[in-house]
């Protein structure tokens, strides 16, 4: 693809973002399956950027923007109980369904007001197991860790999920994570724990250092593993303010945002060991103009930041942004890090 063609493809993506977020709810009601204008759709297809059944780059299921969520009383009660006492949920539970994740991205204020955030356990708490907190990324759910959770449980760890709306302001997400962890630690005599964050979840976890007093409230935190996380921000997020509507998280993800500067500049405590894992495989032609990438994030965003310099070790894998969570060699490496730093 020529330089001009690449620029044209990127412009098309931005047009698409504006088009998708400008649609009115009344139009959605009259036309359940919305389509882009044929000329624009043709340009996008030629540029290698298709609708893929309603899923678009940076947007996910863009029609979810037009569908206000409805409050689920069962989910609300479950989330409230989880803030008071341990709650065990299988990954198949409806709370972890993709549609709830998408609602949490595009309607985070609604989700926070009606459900809040919570930690859930993969199995009943056992004092002889070391907790490993799993933090998903944008439009993610605990199901993203389906391949890792059984291995953690079999190796003597306690898998714990942080459930939050991924579209919320990221400093707020970090504070919520810190508060939920403080509640969890106070319920149990925990002397060691690890946090693993995928994609945005890694950024939210790193920002704990800026939003909570880790020394006083999270003394048990010993290991942090980020997986394909954009510590350098996301270039396209800078266009968020031009759109009629966007999640608050997009403002924080902009490369030059105050939030990202804090994430990059705050050092780790000496007793928290940090390991950075990244993916480096892509079939997304439309991202080629941005440089080496994993189909969602550029390598520069994941590794070319001061955060990488703070890592005890860095591991790169020829996987894409999603497959890295299922690859056997990646899971084996994570298990090795946990065993080295925590035992188990």
Contacts 24+ apart (CB under 8 A), 73-80: 75/100, 75/115, 76/114, 76/115, 78/118, 79/115, 79/116, 79/117, 79/118, 79/163, 80/116
pLDDT at 220: 94
**Ranges of CATH 3.40.50.1820 domains, the chain:** 73-342
The topology (CATH level 3) of 73-342 is Rossmann fold (3.40.50)
Q: SS3 of 157, please?
A: strand
pLDDT exceeding 70 applies to what percent of the chain?
77
Q: Give the count of beta carbons closer than 10 Å to the beta carbon of residue 97.
A: 13
pLDDT tens, 213-222? 888 889 999 9
Q: How far apart, in whole angstroms, are the C-alpha atoms of residue 3 and residue 37?
A: 25
**Do residues 18 and 300 touch, judged by C-beta distance below 8 A?**
no
pLDDT at 15: 38
Question: CA 51 from chain center: how many Å?
Answer: 22
pLDDT tens, 129-182? 999 999 999 999 999 999 999 999 999 999 999 999 999 999 999 999 999 999
Confidence band for 93, pLDDT divided at 50, 70 and 90 = very high
What sign has the CA pseudo-torsion 62, 166, 247, 290?
Answer: negative
The angle, 0 to 180 degrees and rounded to 10, between the axes of the packed helices 38-46 and 3-22 is 140
């Amino acid at each position: 693809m020529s330089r001009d063609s690449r620029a044209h493809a990127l412009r098309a993506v931005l047009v698409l973002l504006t088009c998708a977020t400008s649609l009115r709810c009344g139009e959605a009601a009259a036309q359940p399956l919305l389509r882009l204008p044929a000329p624009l759709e043709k340009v996008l297809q030629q540029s290698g950027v298709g609708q893929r059944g309603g899923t678009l780059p940076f947007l996910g299921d863009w029609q979810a923007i037009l569908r206000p969520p409805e409050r689920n009383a069962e989910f609300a009660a479950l989330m409230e109980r989880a803030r008071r006492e341990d709650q065990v949920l299988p990954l198949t539970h409806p709370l972890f369904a993709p549609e709830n994740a998408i609602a949490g991205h595009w309607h985070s204020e609604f989700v926070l007001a009606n459900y809040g955030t919570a930690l859930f356990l993969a199995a009943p708490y056992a004092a002889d197991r070391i907790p490993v907190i799993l933090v998903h990324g944008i439009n993610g759910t605990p199901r993203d860790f389906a391949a890792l959770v059984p291995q953690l449980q079999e190796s003597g760890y306690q898998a714990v999920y942080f459930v939050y709306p991924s579209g919320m302001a990221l400093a707020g997400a970090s504070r919520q994570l810190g508060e939920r962890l403080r509640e969890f630690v106070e319920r149990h005599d925990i002397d060691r724990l690890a946090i693993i964050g995928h994609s945005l979840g890694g950024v939210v976890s790193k920002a704990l250092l800026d939003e909570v007093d880790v020394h006083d409230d999270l003394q048990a935190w010993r290991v942090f593993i980020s997986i394909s996380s954009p510590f350098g921000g996301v270039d396209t997020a800078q266009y968020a303010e031009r759109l009629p509507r966007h999640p608050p998280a997009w403002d924080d993800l902009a490369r030059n945002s105050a939030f990202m500067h804090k994430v990059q500049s705050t050092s780790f405590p000496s007793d928290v060991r940090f390991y950075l894992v990244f993916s480096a495989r892509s079939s997304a032609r439309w991202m080629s103009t941005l440089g080496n990438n994993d189909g969602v994030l550029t390598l520069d965003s994941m590794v070319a930041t001061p955060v990488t310099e703070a890592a005890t070790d860095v591991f790169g894998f020829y996987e894409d942004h999603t497959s890295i969570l299922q690859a056997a060699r990646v899971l084996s490496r994570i298990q090795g890090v946990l065993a080295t730093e925590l035992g188990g």
